[in-house]
């Protein structure tokens, strides 16, 4: 059964916590504790949030190590109207390992830094009993079978996405007010997909037949980061950061494809979009800091390859539109060793055509849409050299109803919902 037209690309970008479509915001335990880090200078995770601020660290070596455990529950509900009734599929399984490592050497007006982290992905979409995607594939295979089979069963779908990122750069303090940073970053991305279903109930006594798909898609690319910080006064500072887009040309390795949906060696584009980020920090009292962040994700300028003919083969990025995030947070120093944080934010997905974007395989399974996050956590300073952080975040998404364009001529409305809980642990070391 070749040349199935239902889905032309099976790249499931399994988003993590505060992902927009691809870019992640949750890059450290300190961010989970205090979700506005663009103007922070209190820990070495600012390698990715405020690299120009690294010159404010004490002279010496600094290491930041952390991990996040993600408990995601995206789900979607629909009714094909074929007598089977309403069906609901929910993500199964959790992502317990999302690590980061940042290192800096600071000397007077200079700082050299590096880091290893996930700029995108970092999670697995796991639907062991299938999803709307496998249901649509099953309906297409039934049609192509021309009566040889009467039903399908034992659906499954599992896909992962990891954008392993390495950064290297330097910071310089021009004077007591102004500092800059420049860095390069290399991204090595891997997307894996496994899916399958079994054709059954043959009226002509054909044996049950299992159809499977197993692919790996890989891409790599380079980008730049430019950062500036202005210490406007002893209590106030402002920052700006620009991350360039990274061209990502994914090459498909087909391990098994009984459905004829992929071509071994074929390439698809999914650039990591550019980001413009601003931050501010204000010392309300000697023990209370207030932070604010604004991040803009220029997704519509990226190349995400063409959509299906059902949406006139437009660039998926133009269907998605841009996205932006606003976060505020405050820290409270309680005693000599304890720091308590609380904060929250809102991420706005500016879809130009939500229904069109959801023709992308994996969209219903990850349910990317507007969301709110609430964050809290503590840091405990063991000594002048070591600080531990424990943090928690809950993200809740707006429920949406999306038309399943690929189900046409069936009129299928899909209700999506999502929520995420994140637990993070980290340590910041100075020596």
Cα distance between residue 92 and residue 124, in whole Å: 10
Would you place residue 5 in the very low, low, confident or very high pLDDT band (cuts 50, 70, 90)?
Answer: very low
Q: Which residue has the tokens 């887009």?
A: 245
The confidence score (pLDDT) of residue 428 equals 98
Q: Render pLDDT for 252-268 as a digit per residue (tens, 0 to 9).
A: 999 999 988 889 999 99
Would you place residue 106 in the very low, low, confident or very high pLDDT band (cuts 50, 70, 90)?
Answer: very high
Cα distance between residue 125 and residue 192, in whole Å: 10
Would you place residue 19 in the very low, low, confident or very high pLDDT band (cuts 50, 70, 90)?
Answer: low
Q: Which domain holds residue 207?
A: 29-430
Q: Considering the domain boundaries, does residue 395 fall inside one?
A: yes
Q: Which tokens hold the place of 85?
A: 């009734």
Please tell me which residue, 69 or 7, carries the higher pLDDT value: 69
Cα distance between residue 191 and residue 83, in whole Å: 35
Q: Considering the domain boundaries, does residue 318 fall inside one?
A: yes
Q: What is the mean pLDDT of residues 247-255?
A: 97
Alpha helices in 187-323, H assignment, sequence order: 316-320
The confidence score (pLDDT) of residue 21 equals 87
Q: Render pLDDT for 357-366 as a digit per residue (tens, 0 to 9).
A: 999 988 999 9
Q: What is the mean pLDDT of residues 329-337?
A: 94
CA 316 to chain CA mean position, Å:
17
Q: Considering the domain boundaries, does residue 185 fall inside one?
A: yes
Q: What is the mean pLDDT of residues 11-39?
A: 82
Q: What is the mean pLDDT of residues 62-77?
A: 96
Cα distance between residue 53 and residue 40, in whole Å: 7
Q: Which of 4, 1, 136, 134 is nearest to 410 (CA)?
A: 136
Q: Considering the domain boundaries, does residue 5 fall inside one?
A: no
CA distances from 30 to 106, 200, 312, 342, 346 (A): 20, 51, 43, 11, 18
Q: Which of 326, 346, 345, 234 is nearest to 289 (CA)?
A: 234
Would you place residue 213 in the very low, low, confident or very high pLDDT band (cuts 50, 70, 90)?
Answer: very high
DSSP for residue 58:
P
Q: Phi/psi zone of residue 335: left (φ > 0), alpha (ψ -120 to 50 degrees), beta?
A: left
The yes-or-no verdict on residue 310 having pLDDT over 90 is: no
Q: Considering the domain boundaries, does residue 21 fall inside one?
A: no
Three-state SS annotation for 178-202: EEEEEEEEEEEEEEEEEEEEEEECC
The yes-or-no verdict on residue 87 having pLDDT over 60 is: yes
CA angle, 20 then 24 then 25, to 5°: 100
Query: What percent of the chain has a predicted confidence (pLDDT) above 70?
Result: 96
The yes-or-no verdict on residue 7 having pLDDT over 50 is: no
Q: Considering the domain boundaries, does residue 18 fall inside one?
A: no
Q: Which residue has the tokens 């995030």?
A: 325
Q: Which of 316, 328, 325 is nearest to 297 (CA)?
A: 325
- How are beta strands 371-381 and 338-349 bridged, if at all? antiparallel
Q: Considering the domain boundaries, does residue 8 fall inside one?
A: no
> For residue 127, what are the contacts with CB-CB under 8 A and spacing of at least 6?
89, 91, 92, 134, 155, 156, 157, 158, 365
The confidence score (pLDDT) of residue 6 equals 44
Say whether 358 sits in a helix, a strand or coil.
Answer: coil
In the chain, the number of structural domains is 1
Taking all residues of the chain, what is their mean pLDDT, rounded to a whole number?
Answer: 93
Q: Considering the domain boundaries, does residue 1 fall inside one?
A: no
Q: What is the mean pLDDT of residues 281-301?
A: 97
The confidence score (pLDDT) of residue 59 equals 97
Q: Which tokens hold the place of 139?
A: 């309906």
Q: What is the mean pLDDT of residues 163-174?
A: 98
Cα distance between residue 60 and residue 105, in whole Å: 6
Q: Which tokens hold the place of 238?
A: 């402002």
The yes-or-no verdict on residue 399 having pLDDT over 50 is: yes
The yes-or-no verdict on residue 126 having pLDDT over 50 is: yes
CA 71 to chain CA mean position, Å:
14
The confidence score (pLDDT) of residue 259 equals 86
| CATH number assigned to the domain comprising residue 303 | 2.40.160.60
């Amino acid at each position: 059964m070749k040349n199935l037209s239902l889905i032309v690309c099976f790249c499931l970008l399994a988003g993590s916590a505060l992902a927009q479509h691809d870019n992640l915001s949750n890059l450290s335990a300190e961010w989970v504790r205090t979700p506005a880090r663009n103007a922070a200078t209190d820990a070495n995770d600012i390698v990715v949030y405020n690299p120009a601020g690294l010159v404010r660290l004490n002279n010496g070596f600094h290491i930041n190590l952390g991990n996040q455990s993600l408990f995601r529950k995206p789900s979607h509900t629909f009714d094909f109207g074929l007598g089977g009734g309403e069906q609901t599929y929910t993500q199964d399984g959790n992502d317990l390992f999302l690590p980061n490592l940042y290192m800096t050497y600071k000397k007077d007006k200079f700082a050299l830094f590096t880091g290893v982290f996930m700029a995108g992905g970092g999670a697995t979409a796991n639907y062991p009993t299938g999803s709307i995607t496998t249901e649509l594939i099953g309906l297409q295979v039934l049609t192509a079978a021309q009566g040889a089979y009467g039903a399908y069963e034992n659906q499954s779908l599992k896909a992962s996405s990891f954008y392993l990122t390495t950064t290297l750069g330097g910071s310089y303090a021009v004077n007591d007010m102004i500092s800059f940073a420049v860095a390069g970053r290399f991204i090595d991305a891997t997307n894996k997909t496994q899916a399958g279903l079994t054709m059954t109930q043959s009226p002509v006594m054909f044996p049950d037949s299992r159809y499977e798909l197993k692919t790996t898609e890989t891409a790599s690319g380079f980008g730049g980061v430019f950062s500036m910080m202005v210490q406007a006064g002893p209590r106030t500072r402002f920052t700006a950061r620009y991350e360039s887009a990274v061209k990502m040309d994914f090459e498909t390795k087909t391990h098994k494809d009984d459905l004829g949906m992929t071509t071994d060696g074929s390439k698809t584009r999914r650039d990591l979009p550019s980001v413009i980020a601003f931050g501010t920090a204000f010392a309300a009292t000697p023990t209370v800091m207030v932070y604010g962040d604004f991040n803009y994700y220029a997704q519509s300028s990226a190349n995400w390859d063409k959509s299906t003919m059902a949406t006139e083969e437009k660039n998926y990025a133009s269907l998605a539109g841009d996205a932006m995030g606003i976060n505020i947070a405050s820290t409270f120093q309680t005693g000599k060793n304890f720091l308590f944080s609380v904060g929250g934010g809102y991420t706005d997905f500016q879809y130009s055509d939500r229904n069109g974007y959801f023709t992308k395989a994996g969209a219903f399974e990850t349910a990317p849409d507007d969301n709110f996050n609430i964050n809290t956590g503590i840091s405990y300073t063991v000594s002048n050299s070591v600080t531990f952080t424990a943090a928690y975040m809950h993200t809740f998404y707006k429920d949406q109803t999306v038309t399943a364009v690929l189900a046409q001529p069936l009129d299928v409305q899909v209700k999506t919902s999502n929520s995420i809980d994140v637990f993070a642990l980290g340590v910041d070391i100075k020596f």
